[in-house]
């Protein structure tokens, strides 16, 4: 009985998410294994448990919502508007790759990682921890 209550709670959360979708292209909630057993029709996309009609520019899913994968970036289900400043993902965070590097779950200034810490190789070296060069 406890498992059934948990499943009902999860489904209610998903239905609640579907009812608050920011997009008028939402067609319907797709229960039972979500999108895995639901082949999309032409001009539709199934994002997790929700079926959408595709617009002129959206072509893929980012989490629960369709997005334009040619222009924008999807980082672990979070959509980031594209452009010069966001062109790589570091976990759920978008960052600019020429200026930063992803070390673990953090993007920071540097050209190498020492564990979760970014550093510049011409200033430091990594021997389990950062060591100044010189």
96 and 36 within one domain: no
- What DSSP state is assigned to residue 14? H
Q: Which domain holds residue 117?
A: 83-134
The pLDDT value recorded for residue 78 is 93
52 and 7 within one domain: yes
Q: Which of 29, 50, 71 is the last residue of a domain?
A: 71
| Rounded distance between C-alpha atoms, residue 110 and residue 96, angstroms | 12
60 and 18 within one domain: yes
The pLDDT value recorded for residue 64 is 86
Label residues 99-111 b or e (16+ Cβ within 10 Å = b): ebbbbeebbbebe
Residue 56 sits at the vertex; the CA angle it makes with 54 and 57, to the nearest 5 degrees, is: 90
The pLDDT value recorded for residue 132 is 73
The pLDDT value recorded for residue 10 is 39
pLDDT in tens, the chain (134 residues): 454 444 333 343 444 444 454 566 666 676 666 676 666 677 888 888 888 888 778 888 899 888 988 889 999 999 998 766 778 899 999 988 777 899 988 899 999 999 889 999 999 888 877 777 76
Residue 76 lies in a domain: no
8 A C-beta contact, residue 75 and residue 63:
no
6 and 65 within one domain: yes
Q: How many domains does the chain have?
A: 2
The pLDDT value recorded for residue 42 is 75
The pLDDT value recorded for residue 4 is 43
99 and 123 within one domain: yes
The pLDDT value recorded for residue 128 is 74
**pTM, whole model, 2 decimals?**
0.64
The pLDDT value recorded for residue 31 is 67
The pLDDT value recorded for residue 76 is 92
């Amino acid at each position: 009985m406890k498992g059934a209550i948990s499943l009902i709670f999860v489904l209610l959360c998903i239905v609640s998410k579907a009812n608050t979708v920011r997009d008028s292209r939402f067609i319907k909630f797709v229960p039972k294994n979500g999108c895995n057993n639901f082949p999309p029709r032409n001009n539709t996309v199934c994002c997790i448990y929700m079926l959408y009609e595709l617009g002129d520019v959206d072509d893929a899913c980012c989490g629960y919502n369709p997005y334009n994968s040619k222009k924008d970036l999807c980082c672990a289900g979070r959509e980031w508007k594209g452009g010069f400043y966001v062109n790589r993902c570091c976990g759920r965070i978008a960052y600019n790759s020429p200026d930063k590097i992803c070390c673990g779950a953090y993007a920071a200034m540097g050209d190498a990682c020492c564990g979760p810490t970014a550093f510049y190789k011409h200033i430091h070296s990594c021997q389990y921890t950062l060591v100044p060069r010189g």
